[in-house]
Amino acid sequence: MWKWLASLVVVVLLSACQEEAAPPPSPDPPTKQVEDIRIGFSMDTLAEDRWKKDRDLFKEAVESLGAEVLITAANGDDVLQVAQAETLIQSGIDVLVIVPHNAEATAAIVHKAHQAGIKVISYDRLVKNADIDLYVSFDNERVGELQAEAMLQAVPSGNYVFIGGADTDNNAHLLKKGVFSVLQPAIDSGEIRIIYDQWTADWLPSNARDNMKEALQINEQQVDAILAANDATGGGVQEALASYGMQGEIPMTGQDADLAGIRRIVKGEQLMTVYKPIQTLSVTAAELAVTLARGEEVKTSTSVNNGKKEVPSVLIEPIAVTRDTIDETVIQDGYHTKEEVYEE
């Protein structure tokens, strides 16, 4: 009995000693100071007016927070974008923000960044099949829905042409999904007929022009409505129509609220565009990039599946713009000036 009690005392004492000797928990790593943060911004292109605005606004937003930003643009070249991203990674950035040219090919960049301990944000366009940390964009399905809703109201029946975006861009697929989700009942009833449906390689207006010329040729110019994926492709569409003496005669949609597109709306050559408040997108992305760089948690209320995971996402609501709402949207926001729009 006494031996058992003595053994119990020894065990208790040893346990107490071990508890006293246990090292204290490691403190959390210190939060990185904003002035020491470097954000890399890997962009697909600066060929369109819209992307120049993204570059300038994102740079301004990051610098206003006290951090540094390094920006590259690949001119639609997948190999160049990967090489530029590798240079950014090697330069010692804390977070990489990507606007992918090719949604699939850019996954290699995400892998390289993570190997270097760098978190990755997909900006506006989703990187597919990659373990990206965050996606910041607009609701791109909603963009397509807004286009189709406006067109159905203007042209409830007839022959529809769809001039899509780049097949390599996930946003183009989301937009198309939104468009056809709205059009499908009218397609099923026979009220509208999709007489031409084609992607536009690299979003190039020249490719959209060629697509539209083909649509006019094979359908003997019997076209009642044109769903152009964005304002740049819409410019190519109008070139094709002009070659047939039909510029501005067929209702056409767009997206991005480019100045050229807005001016076409004023002239009656374009039905509508979809305005995506880039100021909101760029500021949101900049704030989230700095938050990630500081090692702080980012909480989101939604996610988007990119083929590999449910990516935490922040999606901003797009806005339909017609001739009647230009002043209260793009002009009021300072996206374009009244003088620019109305060429005063």
Residues 35-67 have pLDDT tens digits of 789 999 999 999 888 899 999 999 999 999 999
The verdict on pTM exceeding 0.85 is no
SS3 state at 124: coil
| Per-residue pLDDT tens digits for 112-146 | 999 999 999 999 999 999 999 999 999 999 999 99
Confirm whether 34-139+277-316 and 140-276+321-342 share one CATH topology.
yes
Question: What confidence score (pLDDT) does residue 35 get?
Answer: 78
Whether 77 shows a pLDDT value over 80: the answer reads: yes
- Domain 140-276+321-342 fold is Rossmann fold (3.40.50)
Q: Which CATH class is domain 34-139+277-316?
A: alpha beta
Q: What percent of the chain has pLDDT over 70?
A: 91
Domain segments of the chain as ranges: 34-139+277-316, 140-276+321-342
Tell me how far apart the alpha carbons of residues 239 and 31 are, in angstroms, rounded to a whole number.
54
**The predicted structure's pLDDT at residue 208:** 98
CA torsion sign, 289 to 295 to 299 to 304?
Answer: positive
Q: Using alpha carbons only, how large is the chain's radius of gyration in Å?
A: 26
Number of neighbouring beta carbons within 10 Å of residue 54? 21
Q: Which of 31, 26, 28, 27 is nearest to 295 (CA)?
A: 31
